[in-house]
Amino acid sequence: MSPRAFLAILTVVILAGMAPAQPPRETAEQRDRRMKWFREARFGMFIHWGLYSVPAGEWKGQRVGGLGEWIMHQARIPVAEYETLVHQFNPVRFDAREWVRIAKDAGMKYIVITSKHHDGFCLFDAKNSAYDIMATPFRRDVLKELAAECKRAGIKLCFYHSIMDWHHPDYLPRRPWDPRPGVPAQFDRYVAYMKEQLRQLVRDYGPLGILWFDGEWEGTWTHELGKDLYAYVRSLQPDIIVNNRVDKGRRGMQGMNAPEFAGDYGTPEQEVPAEGLPGVDWESCMTMNDTWGFRKDDHNWKSSADLIRMLVDCASKGGNLLLNVGPTAEGLIPAPSVERLADIGRWMQVNKESIYGTTASRIGKPAWGRSTTKGNRIYLHVFDWPKDRVLRIEGLKAAPRSARLLAAPRAKLPMQQDGSAWLIAVPSVAPDQVDSVIAMDLAPVGR
């Protein structure tokens, strides 16, 4: 080979390596196949767990405001001080089987857990970092144990991985209170470090359901880097799902996907969009109290009733609910969370078909509750049971053939038409004080 030919080939090889990765080409049918489990699942568990569960909202005897997992930022703790928490993190009561049981019994179909949050601590045996779970007194790879349990239980395992990293010397910008002068920073070296961790997570803990990125909002992370990271992750596992926070397309807490940005679904946070996010897949992530990572002083728990109705609200708008737990430094999911998840599970035992695999309401938002859809069946989620025992249904596009309570499916409920509406005669007492579900079968359209 002539030197000129060799040089030409070498140049092509180098440029190809530098070129941003391209996501795999995908038809609408292929994308629907990839998103199918997510759209059917409707309900997942979010887990924020790491070093921040040790201070749990308090630092040097002082209460620190804000989110539990942000204590390093809120208390302006330098890396050198914060990373000593590694020696205190010893979750001796951690039990992956119990965590997965709690999630599964609640009716959750997937778990998204923080493999690395903004503080940079790796909750797994990271091959390219010593700032990880193996440096703690616990010395067990909790994500490996969780992966095994999720596989055994048929729960999709997913990872939350923060792009922003307050610990890694190459991440920029550094925290103003901790500039670490004299420590050189090279952002592209940080990107390579993060990519190597993602490769390990997919290879050694996968196949994964979702890579849930976050911390994408700082100026160093760009649309180009976001598109490249999306394509890179999809190249590691082509059927993986990646949220919209891989790129710069999140519109604040509304979590709306902007089409020109990478990411498979929108991620509203701490809210359920009033009309959902029409035309895109989406998932609202919510806390049960006010914080994602554990705070010992956060007792502002939402009621089980509100959480059940929140799940129904998401499903009625064609979205998922990702409901958070923040385990303690001992490795326990807080009792109030466990109680609420058990309540949700009891409701799901009777009514799960009205959530799983459903699509958005075809009759809008009725005054008495919500509605979900599955083919020619609509589920009437009655929050406010009619005192006169007559449930009025507006907006049906086809005549109903039958209506039955999911809590008492053998008995057909009497129905009659009233102009454009339909009336269902219901029992005097609601089978469920939070949400009583009626399955109404409609005549196929056109008949």
Binding site residues, ligand FHN, CB under 6 A: 67, 69-70, 214, 269, 285, 292
What DSSP line would sit under 187-201, residue for residue? Answer: HHHHHHHHHHHHHHH
430: tokens are 């609601």
Instruction: Name the minimum Å distance from CB 244 to ligand FHN.
Output: 12
Give first-to-last CA distance, the chain, whole Å.
73
Nearer to ligand FHN, 328 or 372 (CB): 328
Q: 389, 426 in Cβ contact below 8 A?
A: yes
Name the residue with tokens 């509304």: 254
Distance CA(232)–CA(170), nearest Å, equals 20
Name the residue nearer to ligand FHN (CB basis): 147 or 285.
285
Residue 124 vs 212, nearer CB to ligand FHN: 212
CB of 338 to ligand FHN, least distance (A): 21
What 3-state DSSP class applies to 158? strand
- Give the relative orientation of helices 187-205 and 223-236 as an angle to the nearest 10 degrees: 20
- By beta-carbon proximity to ligand FHN, the closer residue of 67 and 147 is 67
Distance separating alpha carbons of residues 447 and 6, to the nearest angstrom: 71
Helices H, strands E: what count in the chain? 10, 17
Considering the complex, state which of residue 118 and residue 381 has its C-beta at the smaller distance from ligand FHN: 118
Nearest to 165 by CA among 182, 184, 190: 190
CB closer to ligand FHN, 69 vs 125: 69
Minimal distance, residue 245 CB to ligand FHN, in Å: 8
Short-list 160, 183, 182, 161, CA closest to 171: 183
Helix, strand, coil % over all residues of the chain, rounded to 5: 35, 20, 45
- Residue 326 or 331 with smaller CB distance to ligand FHN: 326
Q: Which is nearer to ligand FHN, 141 or 269 (CB)?
A: 269
Residues 6 or more apart from 227 whose CB is under 8 A from it? 20, 23, 247, 261, 262
CB of 68 to ligand FHN, least distance (A): 9
Beta carbons of 241 and 38 less than 8 angstroms apart = yes
Q: Cβ 70 to ligand FHN, closest distance in Å?
A: 6
User: Which is closer to ligand FHN, CB of 214 or CB of 432?
Assistant: 214
Place of tokens 């799901």: 348
Other C-beta atoms within 10 Å of 5: how many? 9
**What 3-state class would DSSP assign to 445?**
coil
Question: Which phi and psi (to 5°) does residue 82 adopt?
Answer: -65, -40
